[in-house]
Structure 1
Amino acid sequence: MTVYIDGMVRKLPDVSRRYVLATGTAVSATAIAGCIGGNGEDENGEEDIIDPTDYDYDREEPDDEDAARESTMEYTQELERDEDFDPIHSNDAYSAQVYNLVFDGLYEWDAGLDLEPKVAVDMPDVERDGTRYLYEIHEGIEFHNGEELTASDVAHTFMAYQEEDSVNEAQYDMIEDAEAIDDYQVQVDLEHPYGPWELQTMAISIVPESERESEDDREEFNTNPVGSGPFVWSDFEFNEYVTLERNDDYWDDPEPYLQEITFVDNVDEASRVGEIRAGDTDAIADVPNDDWGELEGDDDVRVHISESPSYMHLTFNCRDDAPTGDPDVRRGICHAFSMTDFVESRLGNVAQPLSAPIPPITNDQWGFPLDEWHDEHYPEYDPDQAEELLDGAVDDDWSPTIAAPGDHRGDLAERIVTRLHEIGYEGAQAETLDFGTLLDQTVYNEDPSPDDFQAYLLGWTGGPDPDAYMYNLYHESQVGVNQAHFYEGSDSFHDDIAEARELADQDERYDLYEGVMLEILEELPSLPAYSFHNTMASGEHVRDLHAHPMVQQNPRPVSEYGNVWIDD
């Protein structure tokens, strides 16, 4: 499984690319089971934070299945696709939303963040102290080209990340070898145990080896993919649309009701909201916070929301030559403003504040005491303490720069700077940058001067395993790759992160991650900010649509928990 930095892995070329993958509980589909108030206010008129579980929908089934099977749907994505549809090399969530309907996974996500077998018959047999996985796959699965999917294709998929120098290779570089034992048995050997393997890594989309034998084949495959999934590639216009048709010979149940689905994009929030209200599209992604109440109150529109594994963070330059290299300076900044107030007032419909460097949905499978950590360790708004910590630690004319993209995180940077002005640091400034420039100045900057940045705001989306966050965002090997805090840490900090990913026992991994995360909260190389929910809005005529925690899984027109159809 790929992890995403603001929607994609490392490659973020323009300002419109925000967060991802995004990725709690997923929602099901019919009448709203009750809600807190779509405008983000409680009964006293104060801002409140929406609970995604209050937007669960019941399942819906059509009275006329034949009519439902004639349904077509247009889905408007919030960002442009990179138009990379080969799962081995694709690294943006919006292309993944398309190709996930073309391919079947060895394992796939259920309504939440648990994996269930798909091409695999069952969970794997595990041997050799957690370094050998044996998979049995279903017989009789056919790719769209008529060829049978066999163990050789599964082995090819596992090895392709390394053999083809994929941008996603780091997520699979622990694989020593994968081989077909026979047509329906696959053996995968790892160089060492890898904790996230059964939680997320084996959720790979199976590609046909015969369609990808040469570089020219792979280039053709990238924009004309062949899978075994419930939809077949139909029509494609670069940077305009992708149309998929139902696979009428699909091997698994349920078969889609939708005859056709077309993906377009519209990066302009106001225009996207206008489209769904006017009925010019069937569904849109990413409902803006300020439009939530308006759309919720529209009788012709349904809003959908799911908690996600997204993680927004305020990260500091911890180099010794930077003022923020002093942990008291970092603490002072964090006490100068209220993260909770920002989320409640600015993002209460679409986000929740964090207590630790993993999202709550990730913690569902781990059980870390996040509420306790918040009470004991998370820096609360205390301007007097902020002044005390900063006084003498920085000059009176200290002018820190907080860099951010031009979205909600830019607003947060402005909020922090305003609070610093209020306690006397009037030179503090927020710098809003396009993503390419922001990453070059921060994440990819391996030798920044103290003037380049004091702090930056970015996001990351992983999944059900803390490794996706701890290793990529905090391990020293990832400086210049995924992060730029330059945090030296305690003697065991980086070793514990590395050791935790090479252990199979979850209790042992828990103990290591507990120490790492408490150190992050106490020393604050970065401050956990908030988790951004996955949201969609659909016309009332769109039935049985459900938001999934993983942004690259939305929309999911056919699954065990939903089968979208259009009620004309």
Structure 2
Amino acid sequence: MGTNRHDLSRRHLLASGATVSAAAIAGCIGGNGDDDDEGNGEPADGDSSSFEFTQELERDEDFDPIHSNDAYSVQVFKLVFDSLYTWDDGLGLEPQLAVDMPDVERDGTRYLYEIHDGVEFHNGDEVTAEDVAHSFMAYQEEESVNEAQYDMIDSAEVIDDYQVQVDLDHPFGPWELQTMAIYVVPESERETEADREEFNTNPVGSGPFVWSDFEHNEFVTLERNDDYWGDVPDLEEVTFVDNVDPASRISEIRAGDTDAIADVPNDDFDELEAEDGVNVHLSESPSYMHLTFNCRDDAPTGDADVRRGICHAFSMTDFVESRLENVAAPLSAPIPPITNEQWDFPLDEWHEEHYPTYDPELAEELLEGAVDDDWSPRILAPGDHRGDLAERIVTRLHELGYDGAEAVTLEFGPLLDQTVYNEDPSPDDFQAYLLGWTGGPDPDAYLYNLYHESQVGVNQAHFYEGRGDFHDNIADARESADFDERYDLYEDVMIEMLEELPSLPAYSFHNTMASRDYVQNLEAHPMVQQNPRIAHNNVTIQ
């Protein structure tokens, strides 16, 4: 699943830039201690068999994989469920419930899967092909918010107890890279709407941990599944809490009031990395932060020159290097560098040729006459680093004489309501917004969800009509399995975006965590929803 796929609740994914990848940079980078050394501190709860993880944002408390679109809920339920395929240490898939990679037939539109026999859900029922077929089809049948990621599936047919045949309406390029990595849910627990409501906050899977205790908006506790069919983890209990205040999270990890935290702020990074008793972990991620414009004809930013003027009014590179040097990397295109490792688009060349540079004289020239002297653009953003970026842009517009320019920071829900879910905004609602998206190893995760016209009101609100075949090229690329054809289509789309600027690619935000040094084997994964990888890496407390 492409969680936040926006920033996943779809709120959290959309706005956190944390939604569901090729090797990636993943691992521990510092702290005063080696992950193989025995820690000197004590576990937060005094119990070496329990682990507490403090998340950086509130969960939407949606724990049904079919309907959840929230990275922070996924971080919890990924331990309850097994996947047909799961992520390796980077952005590649490896079999989990599946015995091997699928057999592929019918020109890439038929996939045959075999699953392990003898695997049981937590309710004692065996995991069968019926459950796998149900997990593939439920997105469409239940009109899931994630349906667009699976709407190319024509049917999922049970061959026998352990074999499933999935037929697609058309070839789908991302299928083997990402889409087939579904969580397998038990059909028997989700037969009615009432069943699914219960399942959403009391899920039953086949994974290494069992749902134990849950207090809405406070905590989730999972207990080890001693009958797990795979490698049974050492930890007996895992508890997820959240703390949205960065300074408070840092204080907690320093004091040993929690075992690990997510999201180390840039300003605390170096100091925390040097702290005794603490290890800092970082991974490059497939996150994509973007400044997206209202391209409707009735909005001033519907004029490409106005968009160009705003982009030349400030330096994105300077902002990232001065404000986020430890935790982010500037972008040159609407895909992050880790995604490009499998595609090799000439991002450096594109940056040199197309990416807007700081040029206030050119900005003034482009804006003069294109907007009124009392132009008062509103740039909307969440109240984190993106809010800081909005303030930076507005400051530069003030310097050009547009004193009415305003940076507006909002909570995620109201922010999305005013932008992404606002299908008929007035020019005064917003001229631009700053949000984020986490994709994976395929450009489709970004270009279709964020820029195809079908996703207006679902994942984006730029209303960019495009030149010529812009939208057709995005659709054609996702319906092709030919790499070279897809490459050419995506190249045309991304160059047009850099020239016309419906969005300005901003930066890719790294995944960071910090842990007490008695926590062993914890590593940051590129996919934010996969952190912390407690079972996969067999995290222990010593």
Please tell me the residue identity of whatever aligns with 2:378.
T
Instruction: Look up the match of 2:326.
Output: 349
Instruction: Look up the match of 1:478.
Output: 455
| 1:16-55 correspondence to structure 2 within 5 Å | 18-21=16-19, 25-29=24-28, 32=30
Instruction: Look up the match of 1:520.
Output: 497
3-state DSSP of counterpart to 2:26: coil
Question: Counterparts of 1:179 and 1:319 in 2: how far apart (Å)?
Answer: 44
Instruction: Look up the match of 2:2.
Output: 2
1:18 Cα shift?
2.8
Question: Counterparts of 1:485 and 1:155 in 2: how far apart (Å)?
Answer: 36
- For residues 341-377 of structure 1, the C-alpha deviation after alignment (integer angstroms, 9 at most, x for no partner) is 1111111111111100011111111111111111111
Contact 2:522 2:533 in 1 (8 A): yes
Please tell me the residue identity of whatever aligns with 1:227.
G
Instruction: Look up the match of 2:188.
Output: 210
- For residues 140-195 of structure 1, the C-alpha deviation after alignment (integer angstroms, 9 at most, x for no partner) is 21222222211111111111111222221121111111021011111001111111
| 1:468-507 correspondence to structure 2 within 5 Å | 468-507=445-484
Question: Counterparts of 2:197 and 2:25 in 1: how far apart (Å)?
Answer: 35
1:9 Cα shift?
5.4
3-state DSSP of counterpart to 1:104: coil
| 1:529-540 correspondence to structure 2 within 5 Å | 529-540=506-517
The answer to which of 529-538 and 429-438 deviates more is: 429-438
- For residues 441-485 of structure 1, the C-alpha deviation after alignment (integer angstroms, 9 at most, x for no partner) is 222222222222211111111111111111111111111221111
**Aligned partner of 2:128 among 150, 158, 166:** 150
| 1:45-444 correspondence to structure 2 within 5 Å | 60=36, 71-253=49-231, 255-444=232-421
3-state DSSP of counterpart to 2:217: coil
C-alpha spacing 1:271/1:83, structure 2 compared with 1 (3 Å)? same
Question: Counterparts of 1:377 and 1:164 in 2: how far apart (Å)?
Answer: 43
1:285 Cα shift?
0.8
C-alpha spacing 1:477/1:26, structure 2 compared with 1 (3 Å)? same
- For residues 491-534 of structure 1, the C-alpha deviation after alignment (integer angstroms, 9 at most, x for no partner) is 11010001111111121111100000000001101100011111
1:438 Cα shift?
2.1
1:4 Cα shift?
0.8
- For residues 194-225 of structure 1, the C-alpha deviation after alignment (integer angstroms, 9 at most, x for no partner) is 11111111111111122222223222222222
Contact 2:312 2:359 in 1 (8 A): yes
Please tell me the residue identity of whatever aligns with 1:247.
N
Instruction: Look up the match of 2:441.
Output: 464
3-state DSSP of counterpart to 1:529: strand
Question: Counterparts of 2:36 and 2:129 in 1: how far apart (Å)?
Answer: 36
Question: Counterparts of 1:237 and 1:10 in 2: how far apart (Å)?
Answer: 21
Contact 2:212 2:221 in 1 (8 A): yes
Question: Counterparts of 1:379 and 1:19 in 2: how far apart (Å)?
Answer: 22
Question: Counterparts of 1:182 and 1:239 in 2: how far apart (Å)?
Answer: 42
The answer to which of 531-540 and 145-154 deviates more is: 145-154
Instruction: Look up the match of 2:44.
Output: none
1:297 Cα shift?
1.6
Contact 2:31 2:280 in 1 (8 A): no
Contact 1:228 1:250 in 2 (8 A): yes
For structure 1, which runs of at least 5 residues remain unmatched after alignment?
35-56, 64-68
Please tell me the residue identity of whatever aligns with 2:123.
N
3-state DSSP of counterpart to 2:27: coil
Contact 2:4 2:19 in 1 (8 A): yes
C-alpha spacing 1:397/1:216, structure 2 compared with 1 (3 Å)? closer
Contact 1:3 1:463 in 2 (8 A): no
1:433 Cα shift?
2.2
Contact 1:3 1:461 in 2 (8 A): yes
Please tell me the residue identity of whatever aligns with 1:28.
G
Please tell me the residue identity of whatever aligns with 1:464.
P
- For residues 278-329 of structure 1, the C-alpha deviation after alignment (integer angstroms, 9 at most, x for no partner) is 0010001111111112211211111111111111111111122222111111
3-state DSSP of counterpart to 1:458: strand
Please tell me the residue identity of whatever aligns with 2:188.
S
Instruction: Look up the match of 1:49.
Output: none
Question: Counterparts of 1:540 and 1:129 in 2: how far apart (Å)?
Answer: 51
3-state DSSP of counterpart to 1:228: coil
Q: Are 1:546 and 2:523 counterparts?
A: yes
- Using structure 1 for the length normalisation, give the TM-score: 0.90
3-state DSSP of counterpart to 2:465: coil
Q: Which runs of 4+ in 1 moved over 3 A?
A: 9-13, 21-24, 31-34, 57-63
3-state DSSP of counterpart to 2:16: coil
Contact 1:22 1:533 in 2 (8 A): no
3-state DSSP of counterpart to 1:189: strand
1:70 Cα shift?
5.6
Contact 2:256 2:516 in 1 (8 A): yes
C-alpha spacing 1:506/1:3, structure 2 compared with 1 (3 Å)? farther
C-alpha spacing 1:399/1:439, structure 2 compared with 1 (3 Å)? same
For structure 2, which runs of at least 5 residues remain unmatched after alignment?
40-46
Contact 1:283 1:539 in 2 (8 A): yes
C-alpha spacing 1:239/1:424, structure 2 compared with 1 (3 Å)? closer
Paired residues in the alignment total 535
Please tell me the residue identity of whatever aligns with 1:153.
D
Question: Counterparts of 1:236 and 1:94 in 2: how far apart (Å)?
Answer: 15
- For residues 95-152 of structure 1, the C-alpha deviation after alignment (integer angstroms, 9 at most, x for no partner) is 1111101111000001111111111111111111211110111122122222221111
Contact 2:293 2:301 in 1 (8 A): yes
Contact 1:109 1:115 in 2 (8 A): yes
The answer to which of 100-109 and 445-454 deviates more is: 445-454
3-state DSSP of counterpart to 1:116: strand
* Percentage of identical aligned residues: 77
Contact 1:3 1:468 in 2 (8 A): no
Contact 1:61 1:544 in 2 (8 A): no
Question: Counterparts of 2:186 and 2:4 in 1: how far apart (Å)?
Answer: 25
C-alpha spacing 1:258/1:467, structure 2 compared with 1 (3 Å)? same
Contact 1:22 1:309 in 2 (8 A): no
Contact 2:140 2:147 in 1 (8 A): yes
Please tell me the residue identity of whatever aligns with 1:565.
T
Contact 1:496 1:512 in 2 (8 A): yes
The answer to which of 440-449 and 122-131 deviates more is: 440-449
